[in-house]
Amino acid sequence: MRISLITKLTIGTSLILLVFMVFFAYINIATFKTMLMEAAISDADKLSETIIKTTHYEMLEDNRQRAYQMIQEVGTLQGVDHIRMINKSGHITFSTEKGEIGRYLDKTEAGCNMCHTAGEPKVQASTMSRSRVYFDKQGKQVVGMAKAIYNEESCYLASCHFHPPKQRILGVLDTIVSLESMQTLISYYRNRIIVLTIFLLLSISFTIIFFTHRLVNRPVKKLLTQTTRITRGDFDVLVNNTSRDEMGELSDAFNQMTASLKSARMELEEWGKNLEAKVAERTSEIKQMQTQLIRSEKLVSLGRLVAGITHEINNPLTGILMFANLIHSNPKLDLSLKNDTDVIINEAKRCAKIVKGLLDFSRESIPQKKPASLSQVMEGTLALIGRQSSFLNIDIVRDYQPDLPLIPIDEDQIEQVFINMLLNASQSMPEGGTITITTYTDKEEYACLKITDTGIGIAEENMEKIFDPFFTTKSDKGTGLGLSVSYGIIERHGGKIEVQSKMNEGTTFVIKLPLDPTDRENPATSSPAV
């Protein structure tokens, strides 16, 4: 069962208060009662004393009737129950209650104790010990005060008297005072104390409830709501508590904790995102490396095969071309055969071009590197081929990084790569277009050259094949060796070629060459053997 903090605090404090207040009230009432009782006894004692003193002369003159009359009148005073005179033998000689006169005191303990303690008369007993509180026949609480009437000199010397001088006590004046008014006062006082206690208890309880609710419950509820929101992942709402106490400090600490949690969560999310991006980057790098490895292995074995064949074909082909040229230029040659020899020469030249391409592809030519700028090499290439007819309708846009660092490269080989790239670009735009050339540095790792054309683009299914030797989409015009040769050259430089293309929009080739190639080159695996 859930009991709220307020209920617990209120019940606990109220119980403690109740115990203390009841105890306090009890002590208070008891003290008040004792005080009133002492006052009543003292009053009764004084009354007895007054009666004895005022009736003294009447007694000396043996004017008993007059003395009794006086006592009778005092007996009518408010609060006085009755007054009686008792002689030594317990004989009631006078009482304001007529019925008692002439009777003897009963020999009960209370009756004896009135004047004697353990058989001895209470001659010099204190006021308190001479008093007795009891309930009379009507059930009313009364206090009785027994006062000894001493045998004074004037008494036993009086002519009318017969009291012998030896007799010390002549009798007892017993004044019985009603405690009714005292009881009324006490019950009035008790009621007031009870009302006051209840009022105080309620006031204190309500005060506790009010302050606990305001100072503890409300802030705790706010904190609780905030905690629930945090568990749901909402870190934006803060606890607003300006009080300068522990709750305020707790709220501040809580807000700080929320802020730390928020930043930690954001960091974690950021980290997660970065991690995802890094994993994706790494995965694509590994994929690229795998493709490169497969391609390199393919090129190495193909290079060996091609080297053998081209070596064998090159010599007879040179002979064919040479003798075809001789026949073609022989004046004895029938003119009708001139066209045929032209075909032989052109086809032989085509074969020679293929063989040259194959030789380029298979040759293990170690790059002769010296520091050069990619932008400058590109400018040299453009000067070489830019005026060809295929570039007539093409705009060349240059976007070179001015402070592109020099990198160690074999200028001739890189130029060959650029020629291949530019020719491919121009061939993809037979109707003209734009070639944009950009140079830049990438992650302080590579010097990059990007060639973007606005040509026909490369079909998705061909993207994997374009670097393969003899892959071409240019029917009889292409050998399909341009990119594979370029690939080999860039690989031998420790760099890489990346390609992006969209059909009918254009193609972008990025050539990346390391700024510091020492730890990237591995000619043993990258160059095809002869």
Q: How far is CA 425 from the centre of its chain?
A: 60
Complex with ligand ATP: residue 55 or 479, whichever CB lies closer? 479
- Considering the complex, what minimum distance in angstroms separates the CB of residue 481 from ligand ATP? 5
Instruction: Note whether 282 binds ligand ATP by CB under 6 A.
Output: no
Instruction: Note whether 96 binds ligand ATP by CB under 6 A.
Output: no
Complex with Mg ion: residue 251 or 424, whichever CB lies closer? 424
Q: Which residue is nearest to ligand ATP (CB)?
A: 482
Q: Could you say which of 79, 471, 500, 530 contacts ligand ATP (CB under 6 A)?
A: 471
- Considering the complex, what minimum distance in angstroms separates the CB of residue 270 from ligand ATP? 39
Interacting positions 378-437 with ligand ATP (CB under 6 A): 420, 424-425, 428
Count Cβ atoms below 10 Å from residue 176 Cβ, excluding itself: 22
Of residues 500, 486, 494, the one with CA closest to residue 525 = 494
Q: Which does 425 bind (CB under 5 to 8 A by kind): Mg ion, ligand ATP, none?
A: ligand ATP
Phi and psi torsions of 318, nearest 5°:
-60, -45
Q: Which does 458 bind (CB under 5 to 8 A by kind): Mg ion, ligand ATP, none?
A: ligand ATP
Q: Could you say which of 171, 482, 506, 528 contacts Mg ion (CB under 5 A)?
A: 482
Instruction: Note whether 469 binds Mg ion by CB under 5 A.
Output: no
CA dihedral 290, 293, 296, 298 (to 10 degrees): -70
Instruction: Note whether 466 binds ligand ATP by CB under 6 A.
Output: yes
Find tokens 């007819």 and name the residue: 389
| Contact status, residue 455 vs residue 499, Cβ threshold 8 Å | no
Complex with Mg ion: residue 33 or 465, whichever CB lies closer? 465
Residue 308 CA neighbour count, 13 Å, CB half: 5
Q: Could you say which of 367, 482, 495, 514 contacts ligand ATP (CB under 6 A)?
A: 482
Complex with ligand ATP: residue 90 or 457, whichever CB lies closer? 457
Instruction: Note whether 507 binds ligand ATP by CB under 6 A.
Output: yes
Instruction: Tell me if residue 216 falls in helix, strand or coil.
Output: helix
For every residue of 465-488, DSSP letters joined together read TTTSTT--SSTTT--S-HHHHHHH
Complex with ligand ATP: residue 481 or 489, whichever CB lies closer? 481
Residue 509 makes CB contacts below 8 A (sequence gap 6+) with 421, 450, 451, 497, 498, 499
Buried b (16+ CB within 10 A) or exposed e, 4-15: eeeeebbeebbe
Question: Strand pairing partners for 162?
Answer: none
Instruction: Note whether 479 binds ligand ATP by CB under 6 A.
Output: yes
Complex with ligand ATP: residue 10 or 473, whichever CB lies closer? 473
Q: Could you say which of 480, 517, 520, 530 contacts ligand ATP (CB under 6 A)?
A: 480
- Please choose, out of 49-57, 122-130, 419-427, 452-460, the segment that lies near Mg ion by the rule CB under 5 A: 419-427
Count Cβ atoms below 10 Å from residue 397 Cβ, excluding itself: 10
- Considering the complex, what minimum distance in angstroms separates the CB of residue 377 from ligand ATP? 19
- Please choose, out of 18-26, 153-161, 206-214, 453-461, the segment that lies near ligand ATP by the rule CB under 6 A: 453-461
How much of the chain is helix, strand and coil, in % rounded to 5? 55, 15, 25
- Please choose, out of 36-44, 147-155, 269-277, 481-489, the segment that lies near ligand ATP by the rule CB under 6 A: 481-489
In angstroms, the CA 168 to CA 408 distance is 147
Q: Which does 79 bind (CB under 5 to 8 A by kind): Mg ion, ligand ATP, none?
A: none
Question: What's the chain's length in residues?
Answer: 530
Instruction: Note whether 490 binds ligand ATP by CB under 6 A.
Output: no
Q: Could you say which of 458, 489, 511, 513 contacts ligand ATP (CB under 6 A)?
A: 458
- Considering the complex, what minimum distance in angstroms separates the CB of residue 505 from ligand ATP? 11
Question: Which one-letter amino acid corresponds to residue 406?
Answer: L
- Considering the complex, what minimum distance in angstroms separates the CB of residue 300 from ligand ATP? 18
Residue 265 makes CB contacts below 8 A (sequence gap 6+) with 233, 235
Instruction: Note whether 474 binds ligand ATP by CB under 6 A.
Output: yes
Phi and psi torsions of 175, nearest 5°:
-105, 120
Instruction: Note whether 424 binds Mg ion by CB under 5 A.
Output: yes
Strands in 141-150's sheet, in edge-to-edge order, are 92-95, 80-87, 169-178, 141-150, 131-135
The CA-atom distances, in angstroms, between 297 and each of 246, 292, 355, 469 are 74, 8, 21, 13
Instruction: Tell me if residue 174 falls in helix, strand or coil.
Output: strand
Please compute Rg for the chain using Cα positions: 66
Complex with Mg ion: residue 183 or 473, whichever CB lies closer? 473
Q: Which does 495 bind (CB under 5 to 8 A by kind): ligand ATP, Mg ion, none?
A: none
Complex with ligand ATP: residue 113 or 292, whichever CB lies closer? 292
Interacting positions 57-96 with Mg ion (CB under 5 A): none
Residue 360 makes CB contacts below 8 A (sequence gap 6+) with 416, 481, 485
The footprint of ligand ATP on this chain (CB under 6 A) covers a number of residues equal to 22
Map residues 304-323 to x or -, x wherever contact with ligand ATP holds by CB under 6 A: --------------------
Using CB under 6 A, list all residues that contact ligand ATP.
420, 424-425, 428, 453, 455-458, 466, 471-474, 478-484, 507
Using CB under 5 A, list all residues that contact Mg ion.
424, 482
